[in-house]
């Protein structure tokens, strides 16, 4: 989608710190990091919200990509959080599905 920030990151029009890429997914550091590690995993295909897909394989891959990156970067054992904010009450601000992965400090629960 031409007016989507994350589609522009995928096609290289907006720069981002890439963490991982394959044919289906792209991972990059969040521009407003909320933890020592904070990256986003997104599908290359534009999907606005989690409500707009039934693609179990692709949505599952977002989580497993985060887990693989966590193992590779060495924080999997200490732990991390993956979260997908959806629509207004979920505080979603960018309407291209993305999985946040946060790690590197003790995270609070419940979230604000
Ligand atoms: P949401 O609030 O929709 O769950 O999360 C959107 C995330 O995208 C936010 O954490 C925000 O900091 C991040 N973000 C927004 N614009 C950009 C950008 O241009 N580059 C990067 N790397 N992250 C962005
Ligand atoms: Zn998009």
Domain ranges of the chain: 5-103
Task: Tell me the CA–centroid distance for residue 33 and ligand 1, in Å.
Answer: 9
Tens digits of per-residue pLDDT, 16-51? 999 999 999 999 999 999 999 999 999 999 999 999
Known active-site residue 98: yes
pLDDT at residue number 103: 98
- Long-range contact pairs involving 69-78 (C-beta distance under 8 Å, separation at least 24): 69/19, 69/20, 69/27, 69/39, 69/41, 69/101, 70/101, 70/103, 73/37, 75/37, 75/103, 75/104, 78/103
Record the tokens describing residue 48, joined without a space: 């606005």
Which is catalytic among the residues 38, 46, 96, 98? Answer: 98
Q: Which CATH superfamily is domain 5-103 in?
A: HIT-like (3.30.428.10)
Which residues line ion ligand 2, judged by CB < 5 Å? 1, 4, 6-7, 46, 96
Task: Tell me the CA–centroid distance for residue 66 and ligand 2, in Å.
Answer: 19
Residues with CB under 6 A from ligand 1: 5, 14, 16, 28-32, 85, 91-94
Q: Is the pLDDT of residue 1 over 80?
A: no
Q: Calculate the average pLDDT of the chain.
A: 97
Largest CA distance in the chain: 39
């Amino acid at each position: 989608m031409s007016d989507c920030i994350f589609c522009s990151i995928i096609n290289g029009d907006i720069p981002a710190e890439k963490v991982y890429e394959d044919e289906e997914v792209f991972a990059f550091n969040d521009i407003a990091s909320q933890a020592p590690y904070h990256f986003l995993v997104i599908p290359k295909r534009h999907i606005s919200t989690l409500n707009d897909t039934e693609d179990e394989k692709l949505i599952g891959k977002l989580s497993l990509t985060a887990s693989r990156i966590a193992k590779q970067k060495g924080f999997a054992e200490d732990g991390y959080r993956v979260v997908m904010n959806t629509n207004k009450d979920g505080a979603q601000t960018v309407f291209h599905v993305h999985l946040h992965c946060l790690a590197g400090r003790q995270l609070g629960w419940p979230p604000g």
